[in-house]
């Protein structure tokens, strides 16, 4: 009766194709795909040709920018809210470790919690603004007058 080869010898004996296959499986399990990438989105909202700056009133934010994930079947996924600098109007949107901002199509909502205006036109469910976020950090310009989002 022949003795069974140790595990290391069996792996070495699987040949070149088998080793390439194992490497591909290992890479896939490690998450080396664009879908696993995380992005940070920075930018500004433009109205009247200028960066929109809405001062803080009380404890709320002046301008909030939210990216709402658009899924292939038409449903919406998670939303990602901005941190907006009330002095400059510039914003930053990042995901969280448990909820990363991944590449894909997003509806861009722009709301003014303290002003109470514009919330219906550019809200999370009604905004006509859509952007494709790539697998890298990106800067966008949200032009409310032109009703478009430009990647810079």
Residue 51 CA: distances (Å) to CA of 80, 81, 143, 144: 21, 19, 9, 10
Over 90: is that where the pLDDT of 66 sits? yes
Write down the pLDDT at residue 58: 53
Name which of 62, 65, 60 is nearest 45 in CA terms.
65
Q: Is the pLDDT of residue 11 over 90?
A: no
Annotated domain spans of the chain: 1-32, 36-151
- Per the model's pLDDT, the better-predicted residue between 17 and 50 turns out to be 50
pLDDT digits (tens, 9 = 90+) for 99-116: 889 999 999 999 887 665
CATH T-level fold of 36-151: Immunoglobulin-like (2.60.40)
| pTM of model > 0.85 | no
What is the dihedral sign for C-alpha 20, 25, 30, 33? positive
Percentage with pLDDT > 90 across the chain: 43
Q: Judging by DSSP bridges, how do beta strands 138-143 and 40-47 pair with one another?
A: parallel
pLDDT class for 35, splitting at 50, 70, 90? Answer: very low
The predicted structure's pLDDT at residue 32 = 37
What are the counts of helices (DSSP H) followed by strands (DSSP E) for the chain? 2, 10
């Amino acid at each position: 009766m022949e003795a069974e080869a140790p595990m290391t010898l069996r792996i070495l004996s699987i040949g070149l194709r088998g080793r390439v296959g194992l490497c591909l499986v290992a890479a896939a399990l490690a998450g080396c795909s664009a879908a696993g990438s995380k992005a940070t989105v920075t930018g500004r909202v433009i109205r009247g040709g200028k960066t929109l700056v809405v001062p803080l009133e009380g404890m709320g934010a002046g301008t909030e920018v939210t990216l709402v994930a658009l899924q292939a079947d038409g449903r919406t996924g998670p939303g990602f809210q901005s941190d907006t600098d009330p002095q400059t109007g510039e914003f930053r949107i990042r995901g969280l470790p448990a909820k990363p901002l991944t590449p894909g199509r997003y509806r861009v909502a722009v709301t003014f919690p303290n002003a109470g205006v514009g919330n219906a036109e550019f809200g999370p469910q009604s905004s006509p603004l859509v952007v494709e976020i790539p697998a890298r950090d990106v800067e966008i310009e949200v032009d409310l007058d032109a009703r478009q989002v430009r990647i810079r």
